[in-house]
């Protein structure tokens, strides 16, 4: 392979995913500390020098797809801003985009979870990465909703990020109920809390909601109906 071909390959999304896959495999088989940079480079089919043109440290290897994913999220939020889309729901759609990426690469997400859970340095790096996504959401809301109190923007971004991360963890643990549909349902509820109709007041603590339901419904299904009745705003 020529030097030019290697350079082009190292700039591609495919190359980054290959580095993620190989580093996860090697870290799982031999341990994080015992796996050398040369071993990852050899498994990815590139030189050590090529690897370090793209990544600053060994920690970067296992999170190699996140940088490109964050760039895509930033582009998506910018496009929503240019189109004048709902700022609150745009953040939810960005979170769905992140979840879709990991759902499409479920084996890698599961392998990364297992490796990261065993290495404190990687757990710390994962926390930082999670916060960077949340900051993207916060920054978008701050630009687009300058009159909204900062605390509401931060709380909303944290709620969206938290719901996404919880369902992602459940998915990689094998929970069949942790799906994109489950995430959207939860994001609808978070969104509804942020976009109450103008002038509306919060429900009184002594308010009564009457729900009719079939006798064959489970408690969870009944609870879902109640939540729908209490939703302030539906998102299409």
The four Cα atoms 114, 129, 9, 93 give a dihedral, to 10 degrees, of 100
Kindly give, in sequence order, each residue whose CB lies less than 8 Å from that of residue 44, ignoring residues fewer than 6 positions away.
15, 18, 19, 22, 51
C-alpha triplet 165, 167, 22: angle, nearest 5°: 70
| Rounded Cα gap, residues 140 and 73, in angstroms | 11
Task: Between 194 and 183, name the one with better pLDDT.
Answer: 183
Name the residue among 65, 69, 64 with its Cα closest to residue 51.
64
| Two structure tokens written together for 114 | 């297992």
pLDDT for 2 beyond 80: no
Out of 85-99, 104-118, 149-163, which region has the weakest mean confidence (pLDDT)? 104-118
Return the exposure string of 11-47: e unless at least 16 CB atoms fall within 10 Å of the residue's CB, then b.
eeeebbebbbbbbbbbbeeeebeebeeebbbebbebe
pLDDT for 180 beyond 90: yes
Dump pLDDT digits (tens) for 59-109. Answer: 888 888 888 899 999 999 999 999 999 999 999 999 999 999 999 999 989
pLDDT for 3 beyond 70: no
| Rounded Cα gap, residues 141 and 148, in angstroms | 9
Can you tell me the mean pLDDT for 115-133?
91
Task: Between 202 and 143, name the one with better pLDDT.
Answer: 143
C-alpha triplet 21, 112, 137: angle, nearest 5°: 105
- What is the distance, to the nearest Å, from the Cα of residue 83 to the centroid of all Cα atoms in its chain? 23
Task: Between 49 and 160, name the one with better pLDDT.
Answer: 160
Would you state the pLDDT for residue 218? 59
| Two structure tokens written together for 209 | 């909601």
Residue with tokens 């509804």: 192
Share of the chain above pLDDT 70, in %: 78
Can you tell me the mean pLDDT for 5-20?
64
| Rounded Cα gap, residues 218 and 174, in angstroms | 23
């Amino acid at each position: 392979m020529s030097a030019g071909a290697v350079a082009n390959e190292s700039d591609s999304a495919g190359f980054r995913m290959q580095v993620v896959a190989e580093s996860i495999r090697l870290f799982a088989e031999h341990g994080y500390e015992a796996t050398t940079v040369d071993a990852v480079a050899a498994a990815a089919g590139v030189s050590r020098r090529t690897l370090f043109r793209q990544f600053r440290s060994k920690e970067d290897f296992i999170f190699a797809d996140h940088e490109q994913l964050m760039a895509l999220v930033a582009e998506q939020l910018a496009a929503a801003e240019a189109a004048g889309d709902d700022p609150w729901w745009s953040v939810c759609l960005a979170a769905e985009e992140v979840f879709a990426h990991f759902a499409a690469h479920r084996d890698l997400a599961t392998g990364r979870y297992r490796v990261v859970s065993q290495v404190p340095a990687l757990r710390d790096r994962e926390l930082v990465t999670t916060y960077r996504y949340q900051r993207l959401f916060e920054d978008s809301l701050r630009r687009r909703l300058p009159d909204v109190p900062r605390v509401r923007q931060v709380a909303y971004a944290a709620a969206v990020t938290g719901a996404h991360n919880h369902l992602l963890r459940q998915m990689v643990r094998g929970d069949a109920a942790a799906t994109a549909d489950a995430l959207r349902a939860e994001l609808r509820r978070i969104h509804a809390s942020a976009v109450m109709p103008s002038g509306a007041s919060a429900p009184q603590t002594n308010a009564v909601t009457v729900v009719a339901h079939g006798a064959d419904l489970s408690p969870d299904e009944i609870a879902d109906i109640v939540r729908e009745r209490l939703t302030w705003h539906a998102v299409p």
